[in-house]
Amino acid sequence: MSSADSSADFKQQDSQPWYKNYMVIIFVIGMPTFVVVACLWFVYYSYQIRDSVVRDDWYMDGKTLYQDVSRDKLTYDLDLHGKMTFAPNGEVTFYLDYPQESLASGKLLNGDPLTYPAELALSISHATDVHKDRDVMLKHVAGNKYTANVTLDGVPAKYYLQVSHDGVDDWRMQDVAKLPRQSVSFEPLASFTKEAAHAQTS
């Protein structure tokens, strides 16, 4: 076969449009398009499952992050306790329990007058889904009783519960519980009890 014939055959084979060549469709167009679509999907998915903002008493000093436990320490110093009950209709009832010494004297253990605040802040935070967090105000009803209405997700899950009072005596109670359930008890953090026991023995 002469060189002229070979050149004619090559031109004939190359006469089809480039966009009909399967090599171009797969490697030049198909694969880059797939990579771009996959990257966009992963960016969207990463945004949807991003970590929620930390909900706690943290502050930053320079580049160091610290946790403020002063409100938890005050709860321990005042010997405050509480119990929360959950009704099927969404009603939440909280009982604020002062120690017997404070009830008898009419004063808190730090010397301040014993009073029941008009309202307490209730924070119910889902362990992984920020959309299931609930923040409400517990209203004082009578005595040591507070109530509020909260609509919780029906799927059992781990929650962080916090009851707090913002005022002269700025305290808070915390607990971790699997909800829904009938009741949750709030006690001063065990770490302060251990510290006090260690100080007495040393």
**What is the residue-level pLDDT of the chain in tens, covering all 202 positions?**
555 555 555 555 556 777 778 788 888 888 999 999 999 998 988 877 766 555 555 545 455 444 568 889 999 999 999 999 999 999 999 999 999 999 999 999 999 999 999 999 999 999 888 889 999 999 999 999 999 999 998 899 999 999 999 877 889 999 999 999 999 999 987 776 665 555 555 5
In CATH, the number for domain 66-189 is 2.60.40.10
CA angle at residue 120 from 87 to 172, to 5 degrees? 105
- Tell me how far apart the alpha carbons of residues 26 and 49 are, in angstroms, rounded to a whole number: 33
Domain ranges of the chain: 3-48, 66-189
Strand, helix or coil at 19? helix
pTM, entire model: 0.67
